[in-house]
Amino acid sequence: MFRNFDYRVDYVRSLRDRLIDGVLRFVPDVIINGPRGDMRAANNVNVSFLYVEGEALTVELSTRGIYVSSGSACTSRVLEPSHVLLAIGRKHEEAHGSILFKLSHYHTRKDIDYTLEVIPKAVERLRTISAWRKTHQDF
């Protein structure tokens, strides 16, 4: 039983790392929130997409079958950035564009590859209509 558990954790960790590496490779102006490697929970990917509203990205991704959350899990009914991200020093605008991906052993490499196809297009589209611009002085 423990061996199967360790295998599942390693598998989910490999999906997590694939997702993080792909987001960093394919999407400009992102910040990975939290540490990389063994210091990060195997199923957790939290990314701040600069110049994008996290809630808008959540909706955009859900229309394509990718379900994520934005803001603080403790205040999910309020459109406020995560207090945890603010506490670790993220600016309000950085934290407001954060998205949390939760992975499990039910996900596949194809799921991650599909997600990495959709995210860059969704972020690019939202950035073209966003009130936040790269020239914004807060960044």
For the question of residue 74 being annotated catalytic, the response is yes
State how far the Cα of 79 lies from the Cα of 110, in Å rounded to an integer.
31
Helix (H/G/I), strand (E/B), else coil: 98: strand
Strand order in the sheet with 44-49: 30-32, 44-49, 98-102, 69-70
Cβ of 41: how many Cβ atoms within 10 Å? Answer: 15
Residue of 59, 73, 74, 88 marked active site: 74
Catalytic machinery residues: 74
